[in-house]
Amino acid sequence: MKRNPRKLRWTKAFRKAAGKEMTIDSTLEFEKRRHVPVRYNRQLVAATLKAMNRVGEIRKRREVAFWKNRMAANSQRRKLADKKEVSKSINLLPGIKASAKAAASAQTVKQKVKVPAKRSNLASAGGSGQKMSMDMD
């Protein structure tokens, strides 16, 4: 069954069309396939692997910045939705006066009072008791 890839939410085409993924980035140029065979060279492979790691780090940093930029508007939208929800169901919240009294009572200063500890008879029983050991045959 053929489907339009821009309508399937899991495809790269959808993510780019919906603005969920970076479309213009120089790090994406490195992923393009090149059909040019290159003779094996140990130094070239080592340099390529280092470059791949570095490009991966750069891409990760850019993706995080892109995501934060996208989500900045989302936080404002979420706050407005929360305020609307609270105003809609204000009757479910406990009384405002009761919560103000609770906050005032929580701010009272507590004083610590030292209580003398009770002495335990077991702790002071030093060496006067019988020795507890078992005889093994």
Which tokens is 27 given? 């790090």
pLDDT tier at 102 (50, 70, 90 boundaries)?
A: low
Distance CA(49)–CA(58), nearest Å, equals: 14
Q: Is residue 96 part of a domain?
A: no
Domain span at residue 29 reads: 12-91
Residue 108 located in a structural domain? no
- Within a domain: 100: no
Condensed to tens digits (0 to 9), the pLDDT of residues 109-131 reads 567 777 787 776 655 555 555 66
Residue 25 located in a structural domain: yes
Total structural domains within the chain: 1
